[in-house]
Every structure is written in C-alpha cells, then in structure tokens.
C-alpha cells in the first residue's frame, strides 16, 4: 500500500512564525532566540489509521514521508494491581517495551523506538547524507535496530561506559556504525563527538529534541492513552533525562484539546530524575529557567552512580522556548526524584503488581507517582497516565543476544576534521 506523506507546516514556538519544512529543519531558519519548532498538521482531528502497521496508525500527527517495517505502537491498559496498591481508581499504564501478552512488541524494550520510527520516516528515501545519532543508551539501541532492519546508514555516538546497552537478538547490518567516547565520558561527551562528525557535509545530525519527528514519535504514548481512555488525562508521569517525551506529551495534549472530542487540556505534567543526577530537578526547584551549574567532572561522576544511566543528560532542552521548563509551567506540573534504592523497590513492586518487569528509568516514574499520591498532588479518582518507557528485557533476552562493540573510540577533544575523517573511513567515503 502506497503511503501519502503527512501534510504539515512548522511553527516557531517563541515567535509563532510559521514556515514550510525544507525537509530537515531543526529550528527557524530566520533565527531569533533559542526555540523549539512544532509541527502544525493539516488534519486537526486525531484520526488513527488502522490500515497502517504499528506506530504508523498515528501518521496523521507524525511528520513523515514513508513508513518503515517492524514498528510497534505503545500499549495502554488499565492497571491491574498497582492501582489498588497506591489507592487509585483510574490509573492507566502506557507501556513501551516487550510484553507480547498485552500486545507490546518493541524488541529493544524501550519507547525510544517511537523516536526512531518517526525520525527515520521523516528522512527521504533518497537521502544521501548519513544520519548521526547521539545517545546515552536506549536511543542508540533503538536507532541501531531500526536502521539495521531498514538498511539506513547511521552513526551511533555513545559513551564507551554505556556500550553494555547495545544488545540485540541478531547481529546488526553493516550500515550501523558505533563511535564511542572513551571510558569516563558521559552523554554530553557523546553529543560533542556527534556534533564534530556532523560538521562534515557527508553527515547530518538527528537533532534530538529539536527534531519535530522525534517529539511527535514520542508523543504517540499519549495518543495510545487517549485511544484507550477516551480522554486527556488529569495527570501524566514520566522519568526524564532530556524531558523530550514529556514535552511531546504536552504538545499532543494541546492538539487533542483543539480537536474538541477528548476534553480540555488540564493535564498536569509530572517528571522525575534519578538521584543524584538531578540537574533539571534542581533547576526547577530553584525556580530557574536557566540550568543550575553542574561542573563537567561532577556531572560525569553522578552519571556513573545512578542506576538509570539513560537519565543523565548535561545538555537537556529545559531552558529553550517550548522546552521542559515551559511545559511544567504551562501544565501546573512538578518535579520529583528517586534514589537507587527506591528504583529497586518499585521494580519489585511493579513486577509483583502488574506481572512484568520495567527498566530502571521507568521505575523512577513509578516512584514519582507514589510520592505524588502520598503528598496529595493527585487524587484517587483522577484519571492518571503512567508512562512506563521501557521494560520486558528479561523476557526479550530469554533466547540470548549478541552485543555490538564500538567500531571506533574517539575522544571528544580531538579536532572535528580528524573525527569526521575517521568516521568517513568506516563508510569508505
């Protein structure tokens, strides 16, 4: 079946200026203050397309030119045990991971697949440049898998200390290359390596939160919820490293409110980080749009301590117009934290109450929900969405796995020309 590209224009969040997408715009080409851009879709109605597989049933609100194979949409169901344990009447769990019993078949066990299938489908099929993706772990695994399946060349930049996250059921296609920042480096360093690679015109940055396709792919979690519950939730919970998923959920809540069939957008956005890596939490509690100071070495040290290592980002889209600060302000939301012991506790409780395992990052969100209930931030009869961003790894790896090693290890301190040349050589260009 031939796919018709989704029609949309882009809007500068800070100024409201609208403009046509030249194909891969990550910001307003007319410049101005730092700002995200948002997609404004020709279709103002939320209209899932059951004829399209997986995540592409939500193509009406995804800025894509094509569909790729093997995608899966997030799955939402009404809680079957955690709700009673927390004393909640209307708790819905949106799960992105591996649990075939409920229809969840994300092979990398992470909602980062929602990003990959959207971002890569935004790319034209005849794109000559090679995509560069920077990651702390889960995003790397998702993009590597989807690019391998669909034969899309990609460079994955990741800290060497996080290479353990690059597990797969089968060996990846050679179109996937991994470049690691050396031991002791963190996600910020992987970002620096990627930026130097992309200074060469043979490559293109994926763009992170600035890429509308990444956000609108992640925003399908809320669309899954609304399909199940029939309304916009009163409260939304998610663990965050960058906060992009929470921003995406808020953007889709506004679209759904404009549709008019799912209620007003009174959704409060609650997010959480893993102690002691609490850069955005500390900034929010200080009442500051600007990120508080976090020296590089201290940031690297904290990222080594936390159990949910994917939540360590020293360069998150917090302050930028349309970013996480604005999302929390506009929604009347708040920030929570969870330490490693709390994560382990909720991993066990969730397994006992819901019957499957979550990744540590998702359990940060469960801990935040429990704290919000205890302090009265949410009421027992409110409609609540708990965005469980990954899990099912024990079941997914039951038949074994293969590990992807780094093709290159490159220091972020190297000159851009040297880094780009080394990566060019990987692709023989």
Give residue 394's pLDDT band: very low, low, confident or very high (50, 70, 90). confident
**CA-CA-CA-CA torsion sign (62, 165, 225, 73):** positive
DSSP 69: S
pTM for this model (two decimals): 0.95
CATH number given to 75-109+214-396 = 3.40.50.1100
> CA 174 to CA 233: how far, in whole Å?
43
Asked if the model's pLDDT at residue 223 lies above 70, the reply is yes
Compute the C-alpha angle 389/391/396, nearest 5°.
140
Max Cα separation, the chain? Answer: 60
Asked if the model's pLDDT at residue 396 lies above 90, the reply is no
* Cis previous bond, 178, omega within 30: no
Helix (H) or strand (E) holding 210: none
Asked if the model's pLDDT at residue 399 lies above 80, the reply is no
> CA 394 to CA 68: how far, in whole Å?
26
Domain 130-201+400-429 adopts which CATH fold?
Rossmann fold (3.40.50)
Question: Tokens 């994955």 label which residue?
Answer: 156
Q: Can you give the pLDDT at residue 31? A: 87
The total of other beta-carbon atoms located within 10 Å of residue 315's CB is 15
Boundaries of CATH 3.40.50.1100 in the chain?
A: 75-109+214-396
Q: Can you give the pLDDT at residue 186? A: 87
Q: At what angle do helices 112-122 and 138-150 cross, to 10 degrees?
A: 40
Average pLDDT for the chain: 96
Instruction: Look at strands 334-338 and 268-274 and give their pairing.
Output: parallel
Least confident of 145-149, 187-191, 226-230, 238-242: 187-191
Average pLDDT score over residue span 122-126: 94
Q: At what angle do helices 187-197 and 296-305 cross, to 10 degrees?
A: 120
Residue % of the chain over a pLDDT of 70: 100
Average pLDDT score over residue span 74-90: 97
| Token pair in block for residue 166 | 């690059």
Q: How far apart are the first and last CA of the chain?
A: 35
Average pLDDT score over residue span 122-145: 93
**Three-class secondary structure of residue 404 per DSSP:** coil
- Choose between 289 and 184: higher pLDDT: 289
pLDDT digits (tens, 9 = 90+) for 319-362: 999 999 999 999 999 999 999 999 999 999 999 999 999 999 99
Among residues 149, 137, 154, 236, the alpha carbon closest in space to that of 190 is found at: 137
Helix (H) or strand (E) holding 383: strand 383-388
Cβ partners under 8 Å of residue 301, min gap 6: none
Give residue 1's pLDDT band: very low, low, confident or very high (50, 70, 90). low
pLDDT digits (tens, 9 = 90+) for 27-38: 999 989 999 999
**CA-CA-CA-CA torsion sign (35, 30, 192, 151):** positive
Instruction: Look at strands 268-274 and 98-99 and give their pairing.
Output: unpaired
């Amino acid at each position: 079946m031939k796919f018709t590209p989704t029609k949309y224009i882009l809007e500068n969040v800070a100024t409201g200026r609208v403009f046509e997408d030249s194909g891969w715009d990550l910001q307003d080409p007319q410049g101005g203050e730092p700002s995200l851009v948002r997609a404004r879709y020709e279709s103002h109605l939320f209209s899932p397309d059951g004829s399209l597989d997986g995540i592409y049933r939500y193509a009406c609100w995804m800025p894509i030119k094509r569909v790729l194979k093997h995608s899966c949409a997030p799955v939402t169901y009404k809680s079957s045990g955690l709700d009673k344990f927390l004393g909640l009447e209307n708790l819905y769990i949106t799960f992105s991971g591996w649990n075939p019993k409920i229809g969840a078949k994300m092979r990398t066990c992470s909602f980062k697949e929602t990003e990959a299938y959207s971002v890569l489908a935004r790319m034209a099929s005849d794109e000559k440049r090679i995509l560069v993706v920077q990651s702390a772990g889960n995003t790397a695994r998702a993009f590597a898998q989807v690019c391998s399946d669909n034969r899309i060349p990609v460079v994955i930049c990741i800290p060497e200390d996080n290479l353990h996250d690059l597990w797969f059921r089968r060996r990846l296609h050679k179109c996937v290359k991994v470049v690691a920042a050396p031991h002791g480096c963190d996600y910020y360093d992987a970002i620096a390596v990627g930026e130097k690679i992309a200074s060469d015109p043979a490559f293109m940055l994926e763009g992170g939160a600035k890429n509308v396709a990444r956000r609108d792919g992640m925003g399908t979690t809320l669309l899954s919820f609304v399909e199940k519950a029939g309304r916009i939730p009163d409260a939304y919970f998610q663990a965050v490293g960058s906060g992009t998923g929470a921003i995406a959920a808020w953007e889709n809540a506004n679209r759904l409110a404009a549709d008019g069939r799912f209620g007003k957008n009174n959704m409060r956005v609650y997010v959480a980080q893993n102690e002691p890596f609490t850069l955005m939490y500390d900034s929010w509690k200080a009442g500051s749009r600007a990120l508080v100071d976090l020296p590089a070495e201290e940031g690297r040290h904290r990222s080594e301590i936390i159990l949910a290592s994917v939540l360590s980002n020293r360069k998150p889209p917090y302050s930028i117009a349309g970013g996480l600060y604005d999302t929390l302000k506009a929604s009347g939301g708040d920030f929570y934290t969870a330490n490693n012991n709390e994560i382990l506790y909720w991993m066990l409780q969730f397994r006992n109450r819901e019957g499957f395992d979550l990744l540590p990052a998702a359990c940060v969100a469960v801990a935040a929900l429990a704290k919000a209930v205890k302090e009265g931030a949410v009421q027992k009869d409110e409609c609540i969405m708990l965005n469980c961003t990954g899990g099912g790894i024990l079941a997914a790896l039951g038949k074994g796995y293969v590990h992807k090693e780094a093709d290159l290890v490159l220091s972020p301190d190297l000159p851009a020309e040297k880094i780009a040349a080394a990566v060019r050589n990987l692709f023989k260009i």
